[in-house]
Amino acid sequence: MENPPKHSTYSFISLLLMCMTISVITSVSIELLSGRAEPWLSLWPDYAHMLANLQEPMARLRWIVGDISEVAFYKHELPALGLLAGAALAHWASRNGMSWQGFSICYGTGLWPWVVTSSLLGLLFSHVVWGWTLSYGSWQPTFVAFVSLPAAMVLLFGAGWRVAINGALLGALLVTPASLLLVNYICYPLGLPVVIGNVGGMAIASVVVFILCRYFPQLVCSKPVVRAAQVVPAAKIETNYGLVWILRRVLADFSEAPFFGNELASLGLILGALLAYWVSPSGPAYGSHLLLEMLAGQALASFVGVLFWRGQWRRLGWYPTYIPIVSVVPAAVLMLGGGWQVIVLSATLGALMAPPLASAISRRLPSYMHGYIGNVLSMAICTLVIIPIIRLVTGATP
Q: How far apart are alpha carbons 77 and 217 in whole angstroms?
A: 37
Tell me: pLDDT of 37 over 50. Answer: no
- pLDDT at res. 240: 81
In this structure, the answer to whether residues 273 and 296 fall within a common structural domain is no
Tell me if 240 is assigned to some domain: no
Tell me: pLDDT of 255 over 50. Answer: yes
Tell me: pLDDT of 40 over 60. Answer: no
In this structure, the answer to whether residues 160 and 66 fall within a common structural domain is no
In this structure, the answer to whether residues 274 and 338 fall within a common structural domain is no
- pLDDT at res. 239: 62
- pLDDT at res. 338: 93
Q: Alpha helices, DSSP H only, in the chain?
A: 8-33, 47-52, 57-66, 77-95, 112-130, 149-157, 161-170, 176-182, 188-190, 194-215, 243-253, 263-279, 291-308, 310-316, 328-336, 340-363, 372-394
Q: How far apart are alpha carbons 206 and 106 in whole angstroms?
A: 19
- pLDDT at res. 43: 66
Q: Band of the pLDDT at 44, cuts 50, 70, 90?
A: confident
Identify the burial level of 110 via C-beta atoms within 10 angstroms of its C-beta, where 0-12 means exposed, 13-18 middle and 19 or more buried: middle
Tell me if 17 is assigned to some domain: yes
- pLDDT at res. 129: 96
In this structure, the answer to whether residues 11 and 89 fall within a common structural domain is yes
pLDDT digits (tens, 9 = 90+) for 80-95: 999 999 999 999 999 9
Q: How far apart are alpha carbons 310 and 317 in whole angstroms?
A: 10
- pLDDT at res. 397: 77
The residue segments making up the domain with residue 132 are: 110-231
When pLDDT is averaged across residues 279-305 and rounded to a whole number, the result is 96
| Cβ neighbours, 10 Å, residue 9 | 18
* Residue 118 near residue 137, CB atoms below 8 Å: no
Q: DSSP state, 234? A: P
Q: How far apart are alpha carbons 233 and 218 in whole angstroms?
A: 28
- pLDDT at res. 229: 37
Least confident window among 40-54, 62-76, 167-181 = 40-54
In this structure, the answer to whether residues 389 and 313 fall within a common structural domain is yes
Mean pLDDT over all residues of the chain? Answer: 88
Rounded alpha-carbon distances, angstroms, from residue 157 to 64, 115, 230, 358: 27, 11, 11, 22
Q: Where a domain ends, among 250, 285, 320?
A: 285
- pLDDT at res. 226: 39
Q: Band of the pLDDT at 286, cuts 50, 70, 90?
A: very high
Closest to 127 in 3D by CA, of 183, 71, 172: 172
Tell me: pLDDT of 39 over 50. Answer: no
Better pLDDT: 39 or 285: 285
Q: How far apart are alpha carbons 5 and 146 in whole angstroms?
A: 22
- pLDDT at res. 42: 52
When pLDDT is averaged across residues 289-302 and rounded to a whole number, the result is 97
When pLDDT is averaged across residues 268-273 and rounded to a whole number, the result is 96
pLDDT digits (tens, 9 = 90+) for 140-163: 999 999 999 999 999 999 999 999
- pLDDT at res. 371: 94
When pLDDT is averaged across residues 125-134 and rounded to a whole number, the result is 95
When pLDDT is averaged across residues 188-200 and rounded to a whole number, the result is 96
Tell me: pLDDT of 70 over 60. Answer: yes
- pLDDT at res. 118: 97
Better pLDDT: 283 or 29: 283
Domain count, the chain: 3
Q: Where a domain ends, among 285, 303, 324?
A: 285
Q: DSSP state, 259? A: T
In this structure, the answer to whether residues 93 and 161 fall within a common structural domain is no
In this structure, the answer to whether residues 120 and 87 fall within a common structural domain is no
Q: DSSP state, 131? A: G
Better pLDDT: 398 or 177: 177
* Residue 176 near residue 145, CB atoms below 8 Å: yes
- Single-letter residue type at 281: P
Q: How far apart are alpha carbons 199 and 175 in whole angstroms?
A: 9
Alpha carbon of residue 107 to chain centroid = 16
Q: How far apart are alpha carbons 212 and 226 in whole angstroms?
A: 11
In this structure, the answer to whether residues 224 and 122 fall within a common structural domain is yes
Q: How far apart are alpha carbons 382 and 380 in whole angstroms?
A: 6
In this structure, the answer to whether residues 47 and 149 fall within a common structural domain is no
Better pLDDT: 59 or 20: 59
- pLDDT at res. 50: 93
Least confident window among 12-21, 104-113, 366-375 = 12-21
In this structure, the answer to whether residues 203 and 277 fall within a common structural domain is no
pTM across the whole model: 0.87
Q: How far apart are alpha carbons 238 and 210 in whole angstroms?
A: 34
Tell me if 247 is assigned to some domain: no
pLDDT digits (tens, 9 = 90+) for 331-387: 999 999 999 999 999 999 999 999 999 999 999 999 999 999 999 999 999 999 999
Q: Band of the pLDDT at 137, cuts 50, 70, 90?
A: confident
